[in-house]
């Protein structure tokens, strides 16, 4: 668990940035409840935070940002809230696409967005096509996304390839499974940030975060700032990522 501190901008090592940051944006409803506002106003405040964090990642030189915008489980929410979220998505893409494009941000959607309302699908397609050739930050928006469903789809695709004789079971590897996921050709996240203090993954990138560093903050998403992002990056830079192995000092002790 981490708490806010003073500015971390001067502490960040520019040559040791995480390549890929993923964020579970949690706490919009609680933010609104604290202010006696409807949940929809929390989502709108969260959208404003997202704008700032995308801009900050782009300015910092982060290569990939993936945000959990709408899960397959979110359909269980009241219809009015789901409808508002869909309209907010359209508004975000329409208002921000020019700035994103000017800043060379490339938009990709993870998930089955063909199940979203037609107006959402049209805006998504336009945003993807408009930014497709950009060379800056890759901005992945997870929409109608569920990691178990993603993995299930990968298994079914491989099973079909076996049934058709394209491959045999011995040819299946971690790499072949990864190539069937929405994130194919994208490096796994280095850092996963979750706001609002919840200690769970919520069906997000389960395959991809096997060795991702986790950073949890009590800060509600609408209150999350660039300095919170920098704090998370600074904390990431203090960690020793061993990927199941030993650090050099410990290895030297064993070999001595």
Catalytic residue list = 26, 74
Q: Are 65 and 82 in contact (CB under 8 A)?
A: no
- Helices 226-237 and 39-60 sit at what angle, rounded to 10 degrees? 50
φ and ψ at 165, to 5 degrees?
85, 5
| Host H or E run for residue 193 | strand 191-194
| Nearest by Cα to 224 from 24, 60, 39 | 24
Q: In what order do the strands lie in the sheet with 191-194?
A: 106-110, 138-145, 64-71, 20-24, 191-194, 213-216
């Amino acid at each position: 668990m981490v708490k806010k501190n003073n500015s971390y901008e001067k502490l960040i090592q520019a040559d040791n940035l995480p390549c890929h940051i993923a964020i579970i944006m949690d706490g919009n409803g609680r933010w609104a409840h604290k202010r006696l506002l409807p949940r929809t106003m929390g989502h709108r405040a969260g959208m404003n935070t997202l704008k700032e964090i995308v801009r900050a990642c782009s300015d910092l030189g982060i290569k990939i940002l993936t945000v959990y915008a709408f899960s397959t489980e979110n359909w269980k929410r009241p219809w009015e809230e789901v409808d508002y979220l869909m309209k907010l998505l359209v508004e975000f893409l329409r208002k921000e696409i020019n700035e994103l494009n000017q800043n060379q941000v490339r938009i990709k959607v993870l998930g089955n967005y063909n199940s979203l309302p037609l107006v959402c699908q049209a805006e998504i397609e336009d945003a993807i096509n408009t930014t497709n050739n950009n060379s800056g930050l890759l901005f992945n928006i997870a929409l109608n996304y569920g990691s178990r469903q993603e993995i299930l789809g990968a298994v079914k695709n491989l099973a079909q390839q076996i049934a058709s004789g394209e491959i045999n079971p011995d040819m299946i590897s971690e790499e072949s499974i990864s190539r069937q996921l929405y994130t194919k050709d994208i490096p796994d996240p280095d850092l996963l940030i979750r706001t609002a203090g919840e200690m769970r993954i919520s069906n997000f990138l389960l395959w991809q975060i096997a060795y991702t560093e986790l950073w949890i903050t009590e800060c509600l998403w609408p209150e999350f700032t660039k300095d919170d992002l920098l704090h998370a990056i600074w904390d990431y830079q203090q960690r020793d990522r061993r990927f199941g192995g030993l650090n050099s000092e410990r290895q030297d002790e064993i070999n001595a």
